[in-house]
Amino acid sequence: MPIDKKSIKAVVFDYGNTLIEFSPTQVMYCDMALSNALHRLFGKHDMETFKAIRARNRLAPYSLHPPEFKENNMVEITTDLVRDLYGVEPSPEQLAELLRVRFDIFVRIVRAPDYVIPLLEKLGRKYRLGVLSNYPDGAAIRQSLAANKLDRYFQAVVVSADLGLVKPHPVPFITILKQLRVGASEAVLIGDNWMGDIQGAHRAGLKAVFTSQWQSVENLPRQPGDTEPDATISHLTQLEEFLL
């Protein structure tokens, strides 16, 4: 069924691969920066082991059966990374340096395309706008929004790190709806993660638009019984067709 614009009061965006690109290229740069920092602080490490740990971390919230959807703790996974690669405990100073590198590279490489601000300005005249992101560092997401001059357009920003739970768990959706002061049936979520965004939004009662604009690094395939998105787009500007 087409999205009924008259019933929608809020538009909620995922961040990575929705508002901005965070596909394998950006992930590679983040991993390279972290790997170089580890090498500087502790010496050489096995790159295949490093890559395997990073891939495991990304899928950890979904890995149990049934999944608990618990977000990674950035301090814990960074400490565990040093232990697994070197068999030592990082000092507080070394850990702080690794966390700083992870924060800085994310903020530096993430850039919003030119069309995002004009689109948000148009949507903001009609709807309340929010960001609902799965990422283990809430401060990095907020700093990235500010660095891209996007923060001024959102009435609410909720990051999984703040809650300890990732989409599709219902708590992130309940939290963003409360902050936007709208009901679930009055909101639509735009996202690229089939499980987290589309299935999570529908289970929470929101409409959902799936965007295939960029390649996701999380391989979360369709499952039997999954619902279909209310709309599918290949470029974010196509939202104007559904919402304006």
Question: What contacts 231, CB < 8 A, 6 or more positions away?
Answer: 2, 3, 209, 210, 242
DSSP helix/strand/coil, 67: coil
Asked if residue 81 and residue 129 are part of one domain, the reply reads no
| 203 in Cβ contact with 224 (< 8 Å) | no
- Cα–Cα–Cα angle for 186, 192, 197, rounded to 5 degrees: 45
**Residue 179 CA neighbour count, 13 Å, CB half:** 18
The pLDDT of residue 174 is above 60? yes
| 147 and 176 in a common domain | yes
End position of a domain, from candidates 109, 130, 147: 109
Q: Are residues 79 and 176 in the same domain?
A: no
C-alpha distance from residue 32 to each of 27, 29, 79 (Å): 9, 5, 17
Domain finish residue from 49, 82, 109: 109
With cut-offs at 50, 70 and 90, classify the pLDDT of residue 175: very high
- Identify the pLDDT of residue 2: 72
Looking at the fold, whether 180 and 220 belong to one and the same domain comes out as: yes
Comparing C-alpha atoms, which of 187, 239, 210 is closest to residue 10?
A: 187
Number of domains in the chain: 2
Specify whether 63 is located in the same domain as 163: no
Residues 54 and 166 in one domain: no
Domain holding 141: CATH number? 3.40.50.1000
- The domain of 128 spans 5-23+111-243
- pLDDT tens-digit readout, 94-115: 999 999 999 999 999 999 999 9
